[in-house]
Amino acid sequence: MIDRDEQGRPEPPLGADETATLLGFLDFQRATLAWKCAGLDAAGLGATVAASSMTLGGMLKHLAYVEDHWCSRALHGRDPHPPWDTVDWKSDPDWGWRSAAEDTPEQLRALWEAAVDRSRSGVAEALADGGLERPARRTWPDGRAPSLRWILRHLVEEYARHNGHADILRESVDGLTGE
């Protein structure tokens, strides 16, 4: 049985092995983002704070890209999924953040949820094919490849960093606070 906190987020296991612990913390961070974006309309997902152009909608789209990049493209060497397959990243490196304003809340949530689902499948496939030590299929320019362990830790870090931003953005929209 999975313990859930007052927001319905799955608590990371207290006494599990490394794999279950990493996946537990990643799912907790994913659920935190979902909680911070829940129930918001286009205006709420498009709200900014101070001089930053960052939005919760942009964050959903960015993290959908991050999920697909690391758990499909890097880990398995697969071609990019739509919409990433048609983006000219060199001419518009912030396309995901910027283009989120053109998407509905439903489209943004569906894009992120589909990427998370693909990531879960890709991680399960890699765990069955070498465990946490399994190297990514795509290497860095110097020939090194991060391990699945590294990728999962990176995803936890990426979500945790952006969830800090999400706290501020959500509070500016309707006053919702919480970790």
What is the tens place of the pLDDT at every residue in 96-105? 999 999 999 9
Closest CA to 108 of 41, 156, 155, 173: 41
pLDDT at 85: 96
Neighbours of 60 (CB within 10 A): 29
Classify the C-alpha dihedral 166-170-175-179 as positive or negative.
negative
Classify the C-alpha dihedral 26-27-32-33 as positive or negative.
positive
The answer to whether residue 179 scores a pLDDT higher than 80 is no
Give the pLDDT confidence of 72-119 residue by residue, as tens digits.
Answer: 999 999 999 999 999 999 999 999 999 999 999 999 999 999 999 999
pLDDT at 47: 96
The answer to whether residue 176 scores a pLDDT higher than 90 is no
Residues of the chain with pLDDT > 90, as a percent, come to 95
Give the pLDDT confidence of 48-74 residue by residue, as tens digits.
Answer: 998 899 999 999 999 999 999 999 999
Q: Quick check: 85 and 73 in contact, CB under 8 A?
A: no
The answer to whether residue 1 scores a pLDDT higher than 80 is no
The whole-model pTM stands at: 0.95
Helices vs. strands in the chain: H and E counts, helices first: 7, 0
